[in-house]
Structure 1
Amino acid sequence: MSQIAPLYHNDLGISFFWCEKSEVISSKIQLVFKETGFYFNREELDEFVSLIDDACKRSASACQCCKMRAQCEKFLLKTPISQIDLAVTNYELKGIRDLVNGTIFKLELHRLVNDEGRN
């Protein structure tokens, strides 16, 4: 049975490294939100951040006067996988943004701690 090394989580999802034989596989990050999972390397994760930021800019101008905007309006969120786009609400988009940004923060923190330990 595979184990995981959690990186970050929020109400919408979780990110983690897979472990194999008690060793953390840190070359790729598993992101899981709702019923969707992505297994990204760091470059794909950085690309996803850019795509999320683009979607947030588009969503900020949509349906400004509608009180139901956060619940009903769906936005197309592109992913680093060109064949896959996600239809998400504004609430989900913000949660995915937090999940990815929190994951990157934790990755950078791990890198800094590991680099500091080598000096």
Structure 2
Amino acid sequence: MQEMKQIYYNDAGTSFYWRKEDEVLTDKVQLIFRETGFYFSRHELKLFQCCIQESYIINNCCDDCALKNKCHKFLLKTPCSQIDLAVSMEELNSVKDLVEGTLFKINLDDYLYGEGMN
């Protein structure tokens, strides 16, 4: 028996639901990015997506840089007010893909196995 049901993964991390007694617990998503794990509700995951977008707006100064987004790290806020992550633009791209891919897969499954079933 698997203890988790994978939702999405990329080179930077993975997301999954935990299983308990053969039941998939879909109320929260375990998101692993680098060596850090977050256990987010869907609402918190959407808030994290907003934090990532805000970081893009604030730190979008690497376009003309010769180091190509790898030179410095900045703080990425999370829905947990006590936790910020130090990331480069390259890492920000990876976590953005991880969060957006997770939300896309969750929404797709909700549609396919929910309102989309006639």
TM-score (norm 2): 0.92
Counterpart of 2:69 in 1: which secondary structure? helix
Residues 90-101 of structure 1: pairs in structure 2 closer than 5 A = 90-101=89-100
CA shift, 1:72, in A, is 2.1
Q: Which residue of 2 aligns with 1:49?
A: 49
- Does 1:24 find its partner at 2:37? no
Q: How many residues align?
A: 117
CA shift, 1:57, in A, is 1.2
Runs of 4+ in 1 over 2 A off after TM superposition: 63-66
Per-residue Cα deviation, 1:76-113 (whole angstroms, up to 9, x for no partner): 10000001001101110000000000000000011001
- Does 1:78 find its partner at 2:77? yes
2-structure distance, mates of 1:112, 1:2: 24
Amino acid across the alignment from 2:38: F
1-structure distance, mates of 2:34, 2:72: 17
CA shift, 1:4, in A, is 0.7
Residues 28-39 of structure 1: pairs in structure 2 closer than 5 A = 28-39=28-39
CA shift, 1:29, in A, is 0.2
Per-residue Cα deviation, 1:43-100 (whole angstroms, up to 9, x for no partner): 1011001000000112212x55432252221121000000100110111000000000
Counterpart of 2:107 in 1: which secondary structure? helix
| Superposition RMSD in Å | 1.5
Q: Which residue of 2 aligns with 1:66?
A: 65
The percent of aligned pairs where both chains have the same amino acid is 45
